[in-house]
Structure 1
Amino acid sequence: MRLILVRHGETPSNVVSRLDTAVPGPGLTDLGRRQAAALPDALAEEDIEAVYASTLVRTQLTAAPLAAARGLDVIVRDGIREVSAGDLEGEAGDSERGRLYLRTVLSWAAGDLDLRMPGPGGESGAEALARYDAVVAEAAAGGAETVAMVSHGAAIRLWTAVRAHNLDADFAAAHPLRNTGVVILDGSPADGFKALSWAGAVVAPAGEGGPAGRAADGPTPS
């Protein structure tokens, strides 16, 4: 299966760098709507047979133009929503408590999956991965050869760092994903996945000219 993971378009919370992970969440800014409208052309060469989005409004709005262009319905699944911030919800992303959110996600990516986000509603890394895995498994079982999933920055970085054999926690830490940034992988839940590209940059195989998940070409997202 060719799996295309897309971060949603820009939201008002993104503009002010605020943690906003609760359902249903905000919609898109004007720029975010333009980013969503550009996705069909950006992915024109991909033979997408299914389009998924999370339960947050921003992913569904981002997915809608792509699905419409392909004559598909958007399949909404909770499992690919953003990592719940728990007690950190609403914190500024560049504050100490805001940085704790990303540190926790990166700790999960490095293998500490029992660690939990602070406070009620804060999930563990194992829980976040399990719900994401379930949606990927559903898509694979559906038989589509190419599937697009519109999801969220931290969730995509976590899942790819753990499930793509040529990525790791260091790569996830060094490569934020811009709004409507695209990650393309190939593989299956049974055999594992290989990341082919990250935001337009080819991902070099592990051990070839650098550490696992080295972005071989193109700019580093920021």
Structure 2
Amino acid sequence: MPRTIFLLRHGQTDFNVRGIVQGSGVDSSLNDTGRQQAARFFAAYGHVPFDKVYTSTLRRTHESVQQFLDLGLPHEAHAGLNEISWGMREGTRITMEEDEEYRRVLASWNAGDTHARLLGGESPEEVAARQRPFIELLRARDDERTILVCLHGRALRVLLCQLLNYPLSCMEGFEHSNLCLYKMEYTGSVFTVKNFLDVSHLQVAG
């Protein structure tokens, strides 16, 4: 019997709206839109009998699944799921159009140099390394048949590459948006994606 893993990116924050990178060093809360997104996800999936909820240690992931935690579901927070560190640039606006260093680092990643990083920040390889203990834990706990994991955009891309055996240079292929869902199935040996960048729950009226 395959296991089911819901991988969820956190809801919207004011930093997301303003194009300011948060990384692992900015512990922001959801804004009103983010809280509405979280409520809509709960309305769509609150009936699912999750055995465990996993989050990063950052507030925005906890707030995104708070209604599930309020049901009394078992919960663990893992620093391995925290967002990539953007180093000295955390809390500042970074865009492809305006930022040469950011463009250069992303181009390096796409070209296969996944050890590149912004000044003071982490590389995708370092993020992947700290995620691996969580992945091993995930594989080992086969009594948890249905789980919910809430994390961050870049961390989600790195995790998907690892679960699906893609090189980290392919991570841009895994698009994400606030409160998007990647629904996975795990057979005990192979992870597959059943729902890719699913946001249908956000389009529910009300």
TM superposition score category, shorter chain reference: 0.7 to 0.9
The correspondence for 1:35, drawn from 34, 37, 49, is 37
- For residue 204 of structure 2, what is the aligned residue in structure 1? none
Higher RCO structure, 1 or 2 (CA under 8 Å, sep 6+)? 2
Cα offset for 1:187? Answer: 2.0
List 4+ stretches of structure 1 deviating above 6 A: none
Whether the aligned pair in 2 keeps the contact of 1:23 and 1:56 (CA below 8 Å) is no
Superposed, 1:189-208 pairs within 5 Å as 191-200=189-198
Cα offset for 1:2? Answer: 1.8
Q: What are the Cα deviations for residues 25-60 of structure 1, in whole angstroms up to 9, with x where unaligned?
A: 110101111111222222246431100111111011
Tell me if 1:147 matches 2:147: yes
CA RMSD of aligned residues (A): 2.7
Q: 1:47 to 1:129 in 2, by over 3 A?
A: same
- TM-score, reference length from structure 1: 0.75
Q: 1:41 to 1:178 in 2, by over 3 A?
A: same
The correspondence for 1:67, drawn from 66, 69, 77, is 69
Please list every run of 5 or more consecutive structure 1 residues that lacks an aligned counterpart in the other structure.
202-222
The count of aligned residue pairs is 193
Cα offset for 1:165? Answer: 4.5
Cα offset for 1:175? Answer: 4.6
Q: 1:62 to 1:42 in 2, by over 3 A?
A: same
Q: 1:193 to 1:4 in 2, by over 3 A?
A: same
Superposed, 1:1-222 pairs within 5 Å as 1-23=3-25, 25-44=27-46, 46-69=48-71, 71-94=72-95, 95-96=98-99, 97-100=101-104, 102-103=106-107, 106-107=109-110, 111-113=112-114, 115-120=115-120, 122-142=121-141, 143-165=143-165, 169-170=169-170, 172-187=171-186, 191-200=189-198
Whether the aligned pair in 2 keeps the contact of 1:52 and 1:75 (CA below 8 Å) is yes
Equivalent-residue separation in structure 1 for 2:156 and 2:190 (angstroms): 15
